[in-house]
Amino acid sequence: MYDVAVVGAGPAGAAAALSALRTRPGARVLLLDKQDFPRDKSCGDGIAPHALDELARLGAAHVLLDRVPVRRLRLVSPRGTQAEAVLQRPDYVVPRTVFDARLLDAAVARGAELRRHTVRQVEVRPDRVVLDGEIEARTVVGADGANGVVRRRLGLPHQDPSTIAVAVRGYIPWETSDPEQVIVMDGRDWPAYAWRFDAGDGTSNVGFGMLLPSLRAAEHGKDALHDRLVQLLPEAAGAVRLRSHHLPLSTSRPVQPDGRVLLAGDAASLVNPLTGEGIFYALLSGRLAGAVAVSARDPGASYRELLERELGTHLKHTSLLARITAHQRVLDAGVRAARQAPGAMDALVEVGLGRGLITAPLVRALAREATHSLRPLKRTHLRG
């Protein structure tokens, strides 16, 4: 019998395996995935500083040693307001064909067993979990996505369609000596935005994402994703390896149940509703799940408490900010605030890419810019 069986060998699954083996060296850890690695995964490829911190905690920071740091960020609001910043800590842009394979290799080198296998059945017993009637483990970590078999077999509800985003991603040649991450927000169906994330190796990841209900209402269906991408980022016209994917935003998350089955990463709907960032959440949740899987009497209850402690307040703040910035005038004020006050930009980056909170300086900056933008409307109204 295995101590832990992890279904899904992406970042959340590999992190769970690394964490389990770091917590209990010599534990029997099985990683299951339906695909061979390296494999492509549709994503923006951004690895933010908090994700680097998680890699260090897992003993896997070496997977990024040869990558180019990206220190510049540019935001363009739906109304055209721009804000630029030099990040306090750099991001990295790493294709998932590279990042996922390296992280998985680190888990295998640590002692995890990797097997190509498509899991179809999950049977929970009092003292173990049985996969497909043949693989037994004391605890199972489901890291196979929001539509994966583990979440479905637990009987958890489907993701609310209003909290699912859909994005298309591709790659373009892009030579630059000063790589940056560019986010151009689309006022036509906000919340929606296009991005260009420079890898610093002569290529850039480009893409466009919007909420599923907006896509369903758009003309031309999924073609609207590519059309909107090129409208906002003309340089993306020749993008190759275009692939679309769903993002289960954390504004609608399943409750982690007690017991021996844990959900990590996308399977737990851990995707930032402001930015679509999910790698940091995947690594953090995988780390927590792997540790309690080999150490807790009731892994589900322990893991749920740890997630709440680590991310609970942050996720409440991201949900609140997502609702507030659904109003384009407020969002435009936020970008202006970020342009005027470095502290406001830092706070926005922390909330969007890490575990930051809505800070008092950010609220003051937003209020100041929002009040400023409303003054002409009030004067016009009084004249009428």
Q: What is the pTM of this model?
A: 0.94
311 secondary structure, DSSP code? H
Angle at 355 between CA 281 and CA 58, to 5 degrees: 50
Q: If phi over 0 gives left and psi between -120 and 50 gives alpha, with beta otherwise, what is residue 5?
A: beta
What are the pLDDT digits (tens) for 143-183?
999 999 999 999 998 899 999 999 999 999 999 999 999 99
Give the torsion sign (CA, 334, 218, 46, 237).
negative
Check pLDDT > 60 for residue 381. Answer: no
The pLDDT confidence band at residue 368, using thresholds 50, 70 and 90, is confident
pLDDT tens-digit readout, 84-116: 999 989 999 999 999 999 999 999 999 999 999
Residue 138 has pLDDT above 60, yes or no: yes
Q: What was the pLDDT predicted at 45? A: 97
The DSSP letter of residue 115 is: E
What is the per-residue pLDDT across 43-65, written as a single tens digit (0 to 9) for each?
Answer: 999 999 999 999 999 999 999 99
Give helix 342-353 / helix 299-324 axis angle, nearest 10°: 140
